Amino acid sequence: MITVLVLVLSALACKHDPILNGGIDPTDTLPDPPGNPGGNPVTGVPCDPDSVYFQNQILPILISNCTESGCHNAVDKEDGVVLSSYAGLMSTVEHVTDPNWGENKLMRALLDDDPDDRMPYGKAPLSQEQINLIGTWIQQGAKNNSCNENQGACETAGVKYSAFVQPLVQARCQGCHSGSAPQGGVNLSTYAGVKTYAQNGKLYAAVTRSVNWMPNGGARLDDCTLDKLKAWIDAGAPEN
């Protein structure tokens, strides 16, 4: 893992140098589950901390930051690019499996120095951590893999804003719900914003709707995540 990280970091520091694919296990590629756009971590494979999982980690970043109205969703297809599914990414972004960042159109768009060309367009760049995660996923073979984050029991006692809710909202919601024109007028970029929608009931309602649930266009949050979110809201949505 350390070798992979070093490779990623050095590749990012010098983005036009080719780097070697780490040659990691190509077996756990899964199709999108039918009727479940974007897929859910429904398989029994426990998450390996050394692997990056498309359905659990990469697709949520793309959905949250790239697929809002007018952008790279299956309807608007800005520039012919669809980033709301694995199939869309693979068929509409050139060289997306290429571990040479100079060739890889996804990494080029994320790393471009020119704000007019860099993605997400008109917004802050993705964090270094998110870009590194995408880079590692490509180096590991750019597979359509997923894992089950909740092997064993679902622990809903003592759910923390800092350790659970904030990272969840940041990863799955803030791409659309932050900035000067947040989607639906809902700003979830601060604790105060999240608390408002937690306490008026709209947050939990939005993630549990039977159609058009949030994250918009993405997979439903899994049951354990929903239970933890509800436990935190029921506890008064504390800033803990």
Which residues of this chain interact with ligand HEC, rule CB under 6 A? 63-64, 67-68, 172-173, 175-177, 183-184, 186, 197, 202-203, 206-207, 212, 214-217
Which CB sits closer to ligand HEC, 53 or 101? Answer: 53
Give the type of residue at 149: E
CB of 59 closer than 8 Å to CB of 218? yes
192 vs 34: CA distance, rounded Å: 37
State the Cα–Cα distance between residues 59 and 219, nearest whole angstrom.
9
Whole-angstrom CA distances from 162 to 116, 122, 158, 159, 232 are 34, 28, 11, 9, 11
Of 22 and 204, nearer to ligand HEC (C-beta) is: 204
Shortest approach of ligand HEC to residue 84 CB, angstroms?
A: 8
Residue 215: cis peptide before it, omega within 30 degrees of 0: yes
Quote the least distance from Cβ 166 to ligand HEC, whole Å.
12
Closest CB to ligand HEC among 172 and 228?
Answer: 172
Choice between 1 and 205, CB closer to ligand HEC = 205
Q: How far is the CB of 17 from ligand HEC (least distance, A)?
A: 33
Instruction: Answer whether 53's CB lies under 8 Å from 44's CB.
Output: no
Q: Are 143 and 29 in contact (CB under 8 A)?
A: yes
- The span from the CA of 208 to the CA of 215, in Å, is 10
Give the integer Cα–Cα distance in Å for 60 and 137: 13
CB of 60 to ligand HEC, least distance (A): 8
User: Judged by CB, which is closer to ligand HEC: 15, or 220?
Assistant: 220
From the CB of 140, what's the least distance to ligand HEC, in Å? 25
Give dist(CA 14, CA 100) in Å, integer: 11
Nearer to ligand HEC by Cβ, of 132 and 183: the residue is 183
- Tokens standing for 114? 């020119």
| Min separation Cβ 93 and ligand HEC, Å | 18
